[in-house]
């Protein structure tokens, strides 16, 4: 009975021994492996690593922000850049104003030269009809006002660039009006002088015709001496008279053409004068007896003297000049023919005189 009871007790003690050995073994393993020994240790390491990662990220962001802040211009540098831009802008304005002043001064000098040109043209028409002289006088008046405006505008270019540019443009417009006035004056005077040349050509051609007629009459008188005779002298005189008559005919034809060219010259000159008078009067009316503001506005208006009018007047004057040239050319031809006629008659007259002198000597 005691043996039977001892067996269960032995088994129980054995189980307790085994259990205790297992506990001791686990403790030894936990001691060797810190992660297993302390279950929170791994978690702490993981959290610490995460924290370190966050700290590193924050540090990178801070560094990046610091780098960006270094790239941004600092207040002092920004002010320096703005100052440089302002200086460059100011320099451009100065350069622009200087260029405007230079251009305006050039326009002023040209306007002054145009006034001198008109004064010279005016001297050429001292003996012309009143209408032409009046037209050129008005054109000179317009040019004088244009010159004054150009000078005034050139002086104003000393101011800031915007005003300088406007003053330069006004000076240019005034100078253009002075040029147009001078151009019209020149063409009017050219047409007037062309008419004078055509008149002169006609007079000289008529003189040549008169000389040829005289030569023809002389030839006729010489032939009367040998009327009814058939001599060598008479035959020569007949030949000479035919040539003289041909010369007279050519001179007459030239005269008719000269008259036609004179008509063309007169017509072109009149048209040029009328157009010029109209343009000059219209322009002068806008500046004569007007206040300074109205004069300035008119003289700096590009339409004060229309360029088309200048061209039309130039074309008319050109026609007058061409017609006068033709008249002069025809006049020269008439003079040549008159010379031929005179020489022919004079030669025959000399031969006859020589023969008569020889007969008288014998």
CATH number of domain containing 157: 1.20.1260
Across residues 135-141, what is the average pLDDT?
Answer: 92
In a domain, 183, yes or no: yes
In a domain, 248, yes or no: yes
In a domain, 86, yes or no: no
Is residue 2 exposed (0-12), middle (13-18) or buried (19+ Cβ within 10 Å)?
exposed
Question: How high is the pLDDT of residue 91?
Answer: 75
Alpha-carbon gap, residue 70 to 117, rounded angstroms: 71
Across residues 322-339, what is the average pLDDT?
Answer: 94
CA 28-29-33 angle, to 5 degrees, is 120
For 356, the domain range is: 99-361
Total Cβ atoms within 10 A of residue 289: 8
Alpha-carbon gap, residue 348 to 219, rounded angstroms: 8
- Taking 90 as the threshold, does the pLDDT of residue 359 lie above it? no
Number of domains in the chain: 1
In a domain, 191, yes or no: yes
In a domain, 72, yes or no: no
Across residues 130-142, what is the average pLDDT?
Answer: 91
Of 8-12, 20-24, 219-223, give the lowest mean pLDDT range. Answer: 20-24
In a domain, 62, yes or no: no
- The one-character DSSP state at 72 is S
Across residues 59-82, what is the average pLDDT?
Answer: 52
Q: What is the band of 62 on the pLDDT scale with cuts at 50, 70, 90? A: very low
Question: How high is the pLDDT of residue 241?
Answer: 86
In a domain, 114, yes or no: yes
* CA neighbor of 144 nearest in space, from 271, 3, 273, 288: 288
Question: How high is the pLDDT of residue 159?
Answer: 61
* CA neighbor of 201 nearest in space, from 189, 213, 209, 212: 209
Question: How high is the pLDDT of residue 204?
Answer: 94
Alpha-carbon gap, residue 289 to 149, rounded angstroms: 16
Question: How high is the pLDDT of residue 288?
Answer: 84
Which is it for the CA torsion 105, 110, 111, 113, positive or negative?
positive
- Taking 80 as the threshold, does the pLDDT of residue 21 lie above it? no
Alpha-carbon gap, residue 200 to 258, rounded angstroms: 10
In a domain, 274, yes or no: yes
């Amino acid at each position: 009975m005691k043996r039977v009871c001892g067996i269960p007790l032995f088994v129980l003690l054995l189980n307790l021994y085994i259990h205790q050995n297992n506990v001791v073994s686990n403790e030894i393993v936990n001691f060797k492996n810190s992660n297993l020994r302390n279950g929170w240790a791994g978690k702490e390491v993981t959290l610490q690593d995460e924290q370190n990662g966050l700290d590193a990220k924050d540090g990178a962001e801070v560094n990046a922000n610091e780098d960006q802040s270094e790239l941004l211009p600092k207040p002092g540098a920004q002010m320096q850049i703005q100052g440089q831009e302002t200086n460059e802008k100011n320099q451009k304005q100065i350069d622009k104003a200087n260029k405007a002043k230079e251009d305006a001064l050039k326009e002023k000098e040209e306007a002054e030269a145009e006034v001198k040109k008109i004064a010279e043209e005016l001297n050429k028409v001292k003996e012309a009809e009143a209408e032409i002289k009046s037209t050129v006088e008005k054109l000179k008046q317009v040019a004088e006002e244009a010159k004054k405006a150009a000078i005034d505008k050139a002086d104003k270019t000393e101011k800031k660039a915007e005003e300088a540019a406007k003053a330069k443009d006004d000076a240019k417009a005034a100078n253009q009006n002075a040029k147009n006035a001078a151009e019209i004056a020149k063409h009017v005077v050219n047409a007037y002088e062309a008419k004078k040349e055509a008149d002169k050509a006609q007079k000289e051609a008529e003189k040549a015709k008169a000389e040829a007629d005289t030569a023809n009459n002389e030839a006729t008188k010489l032939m009367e001496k040998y009327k009814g005779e058939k001599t060598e002298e008479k035959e020569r005189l007949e030949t000479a008279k035919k040539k003289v008559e041909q010369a007279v005919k050519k001179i007459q034809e030239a005269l008719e053409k000269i008259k036609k060219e004179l008509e063309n010259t007169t017509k072109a000159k009149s048209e040029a004068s009328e157009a010029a008078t109209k343009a000059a009067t219209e322009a002068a009316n806008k500046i004569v007896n007007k206040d300074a503001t109205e004069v300035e506005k008119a003289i700096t208006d590009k339409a004060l003297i229309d360029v088309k009018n200048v061209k039309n007047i130039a074309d008319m004057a050109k026609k007058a000049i061409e017609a006068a040239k033709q008249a002069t050319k025809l006049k020269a031809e008439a003079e040549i023919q008159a010379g031929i006629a005179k020489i022919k008659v004079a030669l025959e007259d000399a031969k006859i005189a020589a023969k008569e002198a020889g007969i008288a000597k014998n």
